[in-house]
Amino acid sequence: MKKFDYENSIGFIVYSASKMMQKAFDLELRNKTGINLAQSKVIFTLYMQSGPTQREIADMIGVETPTLVPIIDKLEEDGYVKRKPDATDRRIKRIYATAKTDSLWDLMVECITQIRKISTKDLSEQEIKSAFDTVKKITENLTIYLADRSLDLKKTKD
């Protein structure tokens, strides 16, 4: 059996850093805004695209639609989002940020800035840039790999 040092693999280290960033950001959000990480992902999505469907939001933030429904319900209950029927298909509900969300935005950005400051403490700008470029390249490599594998799988099925 081959030995593998999982805890010192690049995948584990990137994953661990990501989980820690998410936990810290969630804590900061809860303390300063009263929303959580999942809710913030919906709000960020609404600022990138106005009026997406629940399905589109779920795809963008990487959750299943049933998981997203209570998150949107809570945001709507708190006045941060509004569901509106689609103009051409009333069965479809589109999600929009409200004016109340605008007041939350600056606080969310402050939370992000604080977590960046904490997470990059004692790192030079060059070290931060190098880490960013490295993780970005890893992501690009894996995106290409997955796209190629998807094409291979499709060819096999045809």
Dump pLDDT digits (tens) for 29-53: 999 999 999 999 999 999 999 999 9
Mean pLDDT within 89-110:
93
Residue 155: its pLDDT value, please? 64
Q: What is the CATH topology of the domain spanning 33-119? A: Arc Repressor Mutant, subunit A (1.10.10)
Residue 25 has pLDDT above 90, yes or no: yes
Average per-residue pLDDT in the chain? Answer: 93
Q: Enumerate the domain spans of the chain.
A: 33-119, 123-158
49-91: pLDDT as tens digits: 999 999 999 999 999 999 999 999 999 999 999 999 999 998 8
pLDDT at 157 over 70: no
pTM of the model: 0.83
Query: What integer pLDDT is reported at residue 128 of this predicted model?
Result: 97
Between 132 and 155, residue with greater pLDDT: 132
Q: Residue 147 has which token pair?
A: 């796209």
Q: How far is CA 24 from CA 8, 68, 136, 137, in A?
A: 22, 22, 21, 25
Which residue, 103, 87, 105, is CA-closest to 40? 105
